[in-house]
């Protein structure tokens, strides 16, 4: 399994996407999809608030963009790099898209479905499993989330 250090450039792009989400009031989560050669296929950030769409998670936005570039829903050989551990919906989408690897930053103890609460991405009962790399730039990702939710609490919104 590649080390977490091998994904620093892609994680930086995902952090940029997280910042874009925060800029329009969404939870700062960002994601990018790269092919087996490292070429960028798609990028995205949370857009639930701006799009008024409960499925507009960073991972799904990036997967949709990557599928459009590939011209196929099958993303075999691709890696999704995301700032926060995917939820059940997003982990399921990664399995269904046949993504080869997920690389994530911070764990999500309340909704994480790759390691924290569930292990959807490598569940042997499913027809596809992903390689998992965790902890890439986790401190930076977690700091963005803490700042975002801290600001909401300070404003009396959370």
Residues designated catalytic = 59
CA distance 5 to 9: 9
- Contact of 26 with 18, CB cutoff 8 Å: no
Strand-pair partners of 82: 31, 104
Q: Could you tell me which residues are beta bridge partners of residue 91?
A: none
Helix (H) or strand (E) run with residue 91 in it: helix 88-96
User: Which residues, other chains included, contact 111 with Cβ-Cβ below 8 Å and sequence gap of 6+?
Assistant: 87, 88, 117
Cβ proximity of 59 and 102 under 8 Å: no
CA pseudo-torsion sign 8, 32, 78, 134 = positive
């Amino acid at each position: 399994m590649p080390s977490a250090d091998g994904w620093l450039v892609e994680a930086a792009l995902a952090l940029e996407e997280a910042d874009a989400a925060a800029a329009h009031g969404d939870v700062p989560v960002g994601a990018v999809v790269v092919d087996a050669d490292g070429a960028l296929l798609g990028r995205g950030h949370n857009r639930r608030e701006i799009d008024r769409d409960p499925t507009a998670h960073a991972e799904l936005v990036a997967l949709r963009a990557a599928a459009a570039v590939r011209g196929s829903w099958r993303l075999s050989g691709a890696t999704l790099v995301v700032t926060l551990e995917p939820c059940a919906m997003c982990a399921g989408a990664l399995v269904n898209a046949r993504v080869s690897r997920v690389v994530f930053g911070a764990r999500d103890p309340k909704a994480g479905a790759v390691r924290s609460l569930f292990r959807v991405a490598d569940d042997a009962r499913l027809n596809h499993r992903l390689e998992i790399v965790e902890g890439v730039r986790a401190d930076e990702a977690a700091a963005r989330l803490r700042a975002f939710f801290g600001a909401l609490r300070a404003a009396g919104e959370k």
